[in-house]
């Protein structure tokens, strides 16, 4: 995207990922006016802080404008220590990332989990815009979620609101117990079934070829019996997991994100299945694909300054 000059204040959003750091600028109306990315320094915390600061300074120089900074991270900020926790980019864990970024940028910054940023983006001006309550789902290498109510992101006293991926798969069949081992130390977490690697593992263990999640989806569409069976199991598990969310939060809209959100059949099949598990005579919650796709995380980081 070309550089747009602007004298108006902008919102900068940063997606701090394991392999790349991406910055986006939104104008006051929410339009994208700038985007740039750089490689994430491998396992180097100090270099990561410097890379984020450099991207912001370069963006402000290119745009001729300063702005607020919101950052989506692969973990959360501990409210007990103000340091990072639960990051799969492990060099961030235990580090005072908010304080270090504020010092490097000479301004306040706001941080949120990348799944929270996804949910905020889609609730603000995406597929769930205008909905009073939204649950945003990440179905990718991991499984995460975020909750937005009346336009405001919920965090909670433990900074883990929406972390449904590390709850057990609800209503498990006998054959699903105790469930695959999870890196969190437990067995049978939703993430072990509904992540991309979880789908691949399930298909292989059931006699299918060792395939990526994308290949399983494609082969199922082409009539491969083993892949179709794996997809049917996946949809049933996704329906159960989302029904659990509906029973607790009763959101108006659930938005799927991550690589598996591109699977069109989910939006027709899963709502046909979840009614069996939702404690209601009918389910009015809507399941939708994202409007902004892979861009929702960085957009949501910018919208952390929506007030």
* 248-288 pLDDT tens trace: 999 999 999 999 999 999 999 999 999 999 999 999 999 99
Same domain membership, residue 286 and residue 160: yes
Same domain membership, residue 161 and residue 240: yes
- Return the pLDDT at 3: 42
Same domain membership, residue 133 and residue 273: yes
User: Which structural domain, as residue segments, surrounds residue 65?
Assistant: 10-113+295-305
- Return the pLDDT at 1: 40
Burial class (CB in 10 A: 0-12, 13-18, 19+), 34: buried
Residue 2 lies inside a defined structural domain of this protein? no
Same domain membership, residue 145 and residue 61: no
Alpha carbons 173 and 201: distance in angstroms, whole number: 17
Q: Which of 14, 120, 18 is nearest to 58 (CA)?
A: 14
Residue 252 lies inside a defined structural domain of this protein? yes
Residue 54 lies inside a defined structural domain of this protein? yes
- Return the pLDDT at 18: 81
Alpha carbons 24 and 15: distance in angstroms, whole number: 9
- Return the pLDDT at 90: 84
3-state secondary structure of 204: helix
Instruction: Give the pLDDT confidence of 151-197 residue by residue, as tens digits.
Output: 999 988 988 999 999 999 999 999 999 999 998 899 999 999 999 99
- Return the pLDDT at 13: 98
Same domain membership, residue 198 and residue 135: yes
Alpha carbons 33 and 100: distance in angstroms, whole number: 27
- Return the pLDDT at 6: 40
Whether the upstream peptide bond of residue 254 has omega within 30° of 0, thus cis, is no
Same domain membership, residue 140 and residue 82: no
Instruction: Report CA 78 to chain centroid distance, whole Å.
Output: 19
Alpha carbons 307 and 305: distance in angstroms, whole number: 5
Same domain membership, residue 283 and residue 239: yes
- Return the pLDDT at 2: 39
Would you give the DSSP letter of residue 169? P
Q: How many helices (H) and strands (E) does the chain have?
A: 9, 12
Alpha carbons 203 and 234: distance in angstroms, whole number: 10
Residue ranges of the chain whose pLDDT lies below 50: 1-8
Report residue 37: phi and psi, to 5°: -140, 160
How many structural domains is the chain composed of?
2
Report residue 153: phi and psi, to 5°: -75, 130
**Strand pairing of 20-26 and 32-39?**
antiparallel
- Return the pLDDT at 307: 67
CATH number of the domain that residue 65 is part of: 3.30.420.40
Report residue 48: phi and psi, to 5°: -65, -45
Alpha carbons 37 and 139: distance in angstroms, whole number: 23
Alpha carbons 237 and 290: distance in angstroms, whole number: 21
Residue 293: other Cβ atoms inside 10 A: 17
Residue 288 in contact with residue 276, Cβ under 8 Å? no
Residue 228 lies inside a defined structural domain of this protein? yes
Whether the upstream peptide bond of residue 5 has omega within 30° of 0, thus cis, is no
- Return the pLDDT at 7: 43
Same domain membership, residue 137 and residue 88: no
Report residue 30: phi and psi, to 5°: 90, 10
3-class SS string, 209-226? CCCCHHHHHHHHHCCCHH
Report residue 168: phi and psi, to 5°: -70, 150
Q: Which of 246, 68, 281, 233 is nearest to 164 (CA)?
A: 246
Same domain membership, residue 31 and residue 173: no
Residue 92 lies inside a defined structural domain of this protein? yes
């Amino acid at each position: 995207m070309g550089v747009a000059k602007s004298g108006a204040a902008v919102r900068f959003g940063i997606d701090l990922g394991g392999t790349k750091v991406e910055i986006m600028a939104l104008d006051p109306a929410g339009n994208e006016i700038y985007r740039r990315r750089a490689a994430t320094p491998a396992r180097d915390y100090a270099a990561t802080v410097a890379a984020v600061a450099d991207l912001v300074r370069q963006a402000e120089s290119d745009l001729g404008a300063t702005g607020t900074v919101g950052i989506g991270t692969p973990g959360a900020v501990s409210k007990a220590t103000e340091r990072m926790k639960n990051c799969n980019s492990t060099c961030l864990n235990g580090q005072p990332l908010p304080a270090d970024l504020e010092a490097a940028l000479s301004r306040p910054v706001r941080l949120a989990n990348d799944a929270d940023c996804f949910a905020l983006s889609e609730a603000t001006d995406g597929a769930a815009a205008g909905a009073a309550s939204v649950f945003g789902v990440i179905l990718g290498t991991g499984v995460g979620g975020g909750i937005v109510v009346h336009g405001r992101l919920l965090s909670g006293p433990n900074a883990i609101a929406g972390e449904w991926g590390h709850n057990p798969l609800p209503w498990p069949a006998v054959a699903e117990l105790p469930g695959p081992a999870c890196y969190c130390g437990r067995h049978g977490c939703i993430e072990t079934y509904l992540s991309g690697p979880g789908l691949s593992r399930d298909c292989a263990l059931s006699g299918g070829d060792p395939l990526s999640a994308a290949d399983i989806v494609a082969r199922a569409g082409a009539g491969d019996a083993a892949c179709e069976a794996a997809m049917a199991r996946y949809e049933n598990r996704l329906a159960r997991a989302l029904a659990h969310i509906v029973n607790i939060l009763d959101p108006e809209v659930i938005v799927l994100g991550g690589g598996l959100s591109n699977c069109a059949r989910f939006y027709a099949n899963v709502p046909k299945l979840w009614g069996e598990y939702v404690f209601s005579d009918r389910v009015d919650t809507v399941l939708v694909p994202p409007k902004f796709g892979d861009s929702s995380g960085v957009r949501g980081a910018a919208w952390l300054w929506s007030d």
